[in-house]
Amino acid sequence: MPHVLEATGPAVLGLPWGELVIGIVCFAILVFVLQKFAWPMFEKAYAARTEAIEGGIAKAEQAQAEAAAALERYNQQLAGAREEAAKIREEARVQAQSIHDDLVAKARAETERIAAAGQAQLDAQRAQIVAELRGDLGRTAVELAGKIVGESLEDEVRQRRTVDRFLAELES
């Protein structure tokens, strides 16, 4: 048998030409089948995986952007709430000051009214007491003057003149 192998031709790389051709043909068929069926499936799987990863990254970036926007809205709402609270506090302070001022004004007005009423009452009582005293003093003065002078001062006009003169002398 060794003669048969030698008869077909010289060996390339230590392999006979026939086996080399069959190996190349089988390799070409294998490459063709892999290119036609396997590589497109690998490419599809690779593209799907790449798309899933990129989609996940995009979703993560979108979620991060939404979270940042939500945080910004929250911070704006918080700042707005703080401003509103400060405004409410200021309005309450102003309103409390206004109520305080109104109460103080009402208290002063009431105090002045009570003082004026008291003063008016005192003036009325004083006038009444002065009138009563004048009458009493006048009668007493007329009686005394009548006893001193020795004549009756029963005349009303004369009696008044005497009382008024006497009181004027007392006041001065």
The answer to whether position 63 is within a domain reads yes
The answer to whether position 1 is within a domain reads no
| Total count of domains within the chain | 1
Q: Are 122 and 130 in contact (CB under 8 A)?
A: no
The answer to whether position 80 is within a domain reads yes
pLDDT digits (tens, 9 = 90+) for 114-161: 999 999 999 999 889 888 887 787 778 777 777 776 666 566 676 677
Instruction: Note down the domain range covering 154.
Output: 17-171
Which residues, including other chains, have CB under 8 Å from residue 23's CB and lie 6 or more apart?
15
pLDDT digits (tens, 9 = 90+) for 49-99: 999 998 889 889 999 999 999 999 999 999 999 999 999 999 999 999 999
Q: What is the pLDDT of residue 154?
A: 63
Rounded-to-integer distance, Cα 53 and Cα 142, Å: 129
The conformation of residue 12, written as its DSSP 8-state character, comes to B
Average pLDDT of span 33-38: 91
Which residues, including other chains, have CB under 8 Å from residue 18's CB and lie 6 or more apart?
8
Residue whose structure tokens are 């004048």: 134
The answer to whether position 130 is within a domain reads yes
147 or 107, greater pLDDT: 107
Query: How sure is the predictor about 4, in pLDDT bands with cuts at 50, 70 and 90?
Result: very low
The answer to whether position 4 is within a domain reads no
Q: Residue 11 pLDDT more than 70?
A: no
The answer to whether position 100 is within a domain reads yes
The answer to whether position 162 is within a domain reads yes
The answer to whether position 9 is within a domain reads no
Average pLDDT of span 35-50: 92
Q: In DSSP terms, which residues pair with 15 in a beta bridge? A: 12
Query: How sure is the predictor about 10, in pLDDT bands with cuts at 50, 70 and 90?
Result: low
